[in-house]
Amino acid sequence: MIDSPEPQAVRQQTQRPRRRVRRAALAGCVMGVFAVVASFAAVAFATGTFTVSSAANSKLGEQVAVNAQGRTLYALSPETSKHLLCKSKECLAFWPPLTVPSTKTRLKAGPGVKGHLGILHRTGGILQVTLRGVPLYRFSLDQAKGEANGEGVKSFGGTWHAVSAGSTSSAGMAPTTSTPSTPPTTTTPGSEPPYGY
């Protein structure tokens, strides 16, 4: 017995599902490639280089450590990475820690910055940058490059000082050379609403 040729409609119906399967497989491959590229980009961002730089501060008459935006970096004396004083939400709102997104981020000391840079693991998954073993912070009331409004502020169990870029000592605080004409307002936790970052 001779088989009759398959009708055109039957052939088209069997080919359509195959085409759909091929298209779905191709779309899945393309999405997989995009996912791999995105994950590599995320890793590259997280493992990128983070630089602590230095800048001349006319108010203090010294080179101080600054972040990527040129904002003055501070340390709380007598705080160390093994003995944290700035732990409350209020303190961290006034004094945001200098952080990195990943422990794989490469830290780099810019020109004029002396001393070892490290990463401090804080509660809540915060990865704070340290310089010469001292945790680094910004001051929320510094609004522009070169400002050092946090210098000499006494709060949260110690005194805040701009971090000297060139010092090799663990203290590494920039000395206050003059008394500011308008001293910054010193606050205590709960006395005022905290300022934003």
Domains of the chain, residue spans: 10-46, 49-162
Q: pLDDT per residue over 114-143, tens digit each?
A: 999 999 999 999 999 999 999 999 999 999
pLDDT of residue 106: 95
> Is the distance from CB of 77 to CB of 159 less than 8 angstroms?
yes
Strands (E), 67-180: 74-77, 106-109, 117-121, 127-131, 134-135, 154-155, 158-162
pLDDT digits (tens, 9 = 90+) for 24-52: 555 554 444 344 334 433 444 445 889 99
* Whole-number pLDDT of residue 39: 40
pTM flag (> 0.85):
no
Q: Which phi and psi angles does 57 have, rounded to 5°?
A: -115, 110
Q: Are 51 and 69 in contact (CB under 8 A)?
A: no
